[in-house]
Amino acid sequence: MWPAVSQSTLEARYKRPASRFAVVEDVSMHFLDEGPADGPVVVMSSAQWACFSQWDSWMPALADRYRVIRIDLPGHGLTGEIPSGDYSFEMYERLLLGTLDAIGIDRFALIGTSFSGTIAFRYAAKPGNRLTALVLANASGLPRLPGKAPNEPPPQWLNRVLMPHVRTRGFMRWKLGSLILNHALITPALVREFADMNNRRNRLKEAQARAATYKVGDPQSLLAQITVPTLVLGSTGSTYLAASDADRYEAWLTAAPVRKVVYPNVGHLIAFDAGSTAAADVRAFLDERVDRC
Mean pLDDT across 117-125: 97
What pLDDT was estimated at residue 99?
A: 98
Q: Which of 73, 95, 85, 116 is nearest to 209 (CA)?
A: 85
Q: What's the whole-number average pLDDT of the chain? A: 91
Q: Are 215 and 90 in contact (CB under 8 A)?
A: no
What pLDDT was estimated at residue 157?
A: 47
For 33, the enclosing helix (H) or strand (E) is strand 27-34
Taking 90 as the threshold, does the pLDDT of residue 110 lie above it?
yes
List beta partners, residue 200: 5
The CA distances from residue 44 to 66, 120, 165, 169, 237, in Å, are 12, 10, 29, 26, 22
Amino acid letter at 137? Answer: A
Question: Which has more pLDDT, 170 or 279?
Answer: 279
What pLDDT was estimated at residue 292?
A: 47
Q: Which of 97, 290, 267 is nearest to 176 (CA)?
A: 267
Domains parsed from the chain with CATH numbers: 11-147+203-289 (3.40.50.1820)
Residues 278-289: pLDDT tens digits? 999 999 999 998
Mean pLDDT across 98-110: 97
What pLDDT was estimated at residue 165?
A: 62
What pLDDT was estimated at residue 212?
A: 81
Mean pLDDT across 95-116: 97
Question: Which has more pLDDT, 154 or 288?
Answer: 288
Measure the CA angle with vertex 211, ends 218 and 58; round to 5°: 80
